[in-house]
Structure 1
Amino acid sequence: MAEFRYGPVELFLIGFEGERPDPSVMSGLFDLVESGLVRLLDFVIVSKSESGDVDVIEIEEELDEYGLRDYELAALGITGEEDIVGFAEHVPPGSSAAVVAIELAFVRELASRLAASGGVVLTSERIPAPVVNAVADLADAEVEAELEAVVAEADAAD
């Protein structure tokens, strides 16, 4: 079977107040890392001044300072300059964010098995969680409305 060093990687821009993330901001990420579902590859701080000047801090030398001393960053530098510049456009003036590269470790096995069997992922699309939840809520509401209509019909027939 083909063995991949990495599974799919997602880049996230996580906004926060101040110049560094509060530990509570990062606890969800750290819980996932500790569970083995994801692997933290890279972590870059992007700050934008009120005037729009951007400051980028690649924290490999300052892991302790950012609460990451217990976490190995497995692929420092994998977040490219073009990625950082693109994400920096979304940081509001006077605030900061972290560009976080996360390997979807749980998908690495699937990727290995597909490659070993000759399968090829031709495309992939991520549906954002808010969209999935909104669609599921609509579907649940439709099912509930249909159920209520059936119950009302049954009551009327009695």
Structure 2
Amino acid sequence: MTSALHADRVGPVDVAVVAFEGNRFNGKIAPALRDLQEAGIVRVLDLTFVRKDTDGSVTVVELGDAELAEDFERVAETPFDLLSDEDLQAVADGLPPNSSAVIIAWENAWAARLADAIADSEGRLVLLIRIPGEDVERAVAALDEN
């Protein structure tokens, strides 16, 4: 069986770290990730949880572990090992005691489809800029004020 990643083009891969104070992770992001994946917008490639207890001890929970399977089944159908032990340790080092984080690596599948369409049109991407969320929020707030 061939992996879906062996398609014509692979979209850019992002890594997001979402922190939770007080180890209050509740799994509500799983349905949102599933929806994005089912819509073909992203493809979750790797997902790992890091927990730091009040005494500073760290626990790493991989996607394949039974503890996560219930909330995150079908999110990463074929998990890849993109996140290294060093990556996970760096996240853990940055967490305060009694907190946790989920680290998600996803392919921006929409970008791969767009890149194929651009190439098929004999075009080329010459600039791509991500506007910081805070700037977008300020612009929306300014529109709301007018």
TM range (shorter): 0.7 to 0.9
Superposition TM-score, scaled by structure 1 size: 0.68
Q: Distance in 2 between matches of 1:89 and 1:115?
A: 42
Residue pairs, 1:37-48, within 5 angstroms: 37-48=41-52
Q: Distance in 2 between matches of 1:86 and 1:124?
A: 28
CA contact under 8 A between 2:42 and 2:108: conserved in structure 1?
Answer: yes
Residue pairs, 1:23-34, within 5 angstroms: 23-34=27-38
Q: CA deviation at 1:45?
A: 0.7
- The answer for the alignment partner of 2:16 in structure 1 is 12
Say which of 87, 90, 98 aligns to 2:91.
87
Say which of 112, 121, 128 aligns to 1:108.
112
Q: CA deviation at 1:95?
A: 1.5
Q: Which residues of structure 1 form unaligned runs of 5+?
A: 145-158
Deviations 1:31-87 (A, max 9, x none): 212222111111101011223232212222437644222333444211223332332
Superposition TM-score, scaled by structure 2 size: 0.72
Structure of larger gyration radius? 1
SS in 1 for 2:76: coil
Asked if 1:133 corresponds to 2:137, the answer is yes
Residue correspondences, number = 139
Say which of 3, 16, 29 aligns to 2:8.
3
Say which of 50, 69, 89 aligns to 2:73.
69
Q: Aligned AA for 2:81?
A: G
More helix by share: 1
- The answer for the alignment partner of 1:54 in structure 2 is 58
Q: Distance in 1 between matches of 2:27 and 2:33?
A: 10
Q: CA deviation at 1:97?
A: 1.4
From the superposition, tell whether residues 130 and 19 of structure 1 become closer, same or farther in structure 2 (CA, over 3 Å): same
CA contact under 8 A between 2:21 and 2:98: conserved in structure 1?
Answer: no
Q: Distance in 2 between matches of 1:114 and 1:71?
A: 28
From the superposition, tell whether residues 111 and 133 of structure 1 become closer, same or farther in structure 2 (CA, over 3 Å): same
Q: Aligned AA for 1:81?
A: D
- Cα RMSD of the aligned pairs, angstroms, is 3.0
Q: Which residues of structure 2 form unaligned runs of 5+?
A: 1-6
